[in-house]
């Protein structure tokens, strides 16, 4: 399984944009990039995913580098509720499982 590298922690001020980076230099052509987050004492929650093109949904945007070796999750206006551990996960074609790393712990300051 291809690995991802994320910073251990990041801080953001409330109502400011947050850019959470992820490096995945060994990604293969059929790996999807998925982002999940885990709020305190809860199960992981789906955020967004993509393959090659940038993606937007109501929660966030996903910017994927042209060579696909890195991606960035963008929260446009961080709220206190966005404080969580954010996981960048590569999922190989045909596999069902997620391999979670340690993620980035996002702290949002009021």
Partner 1 sequence: EPEVTQTPSHQVTQMGQEVILRCVPISNHLYFYWYRQILGQKVEFLVSFYNNEISEKSEIFDDQFSVERPDGSNFTLKIRSTKLEDSAMYFCASSEGNLAPSYNEQFFGPGTRLTVL
Provide the binding-site residues for partner 1, judged by CB under 8 A: 30-32, 34, 38, 42-46, 49, 87, 91-102
- Could you tell me the strand order of the sheet in which 45-50 lies? 9-13, 104-109, 84-91, 32-38, 45-50
Indicate the residue among 41 and 110 with the shorter CB distance to partner 1: 41
Nearest-angstrom CA–CA distance, 83 and 28: 31
* Nearest alpha-carbon partner for 86 in 64, 71, 69, 66: 71
Measured from the CB of residue 97, what is the shortest distance to partner 1 in angstroms?
A: 4
Measured from the CB of residue 47, what is the shortest distance to partner 1 in angstroms?
A: 9
Measured from the CB of residue 10, what is the shortest distance to partner 1 in angstroms?
A: 18
**Sequence-ordered list of residues with C-beta below 8 angstroms from that of 69, at least 6 positions apart, any chain:** 23, 24, 25, 27
Indicate the residue among 10 and 99 with the shorter CB distance to partner 1: 99
Indicate the residue among 51 and 109 with the shorter CB distance to partner 1: 51
């Amino acid at each position: 399984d291809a690995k991802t590298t994320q910073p251990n922690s990041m801080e953001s001020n409330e109502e400011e944009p947050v850019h959470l980076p992820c490096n995945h230099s060994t990604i293969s052509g059929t790996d999807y990039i998925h982002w999940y987050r885990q709020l305190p004492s809860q199960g992981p929650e789906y955020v967004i995913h993509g393959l090659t093109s940038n993606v937007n949904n109501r929660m966030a945007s996903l910017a994927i580098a042209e060579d696909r070796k890195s991606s960035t999750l963008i929260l446009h206006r961080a709220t206190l509720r966005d404080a969580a551990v954010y996981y960048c996960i590569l999922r190989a074609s045909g596999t069902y499982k997620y391999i979670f790393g340690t993620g980035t712990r996002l702290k949002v300051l009021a």
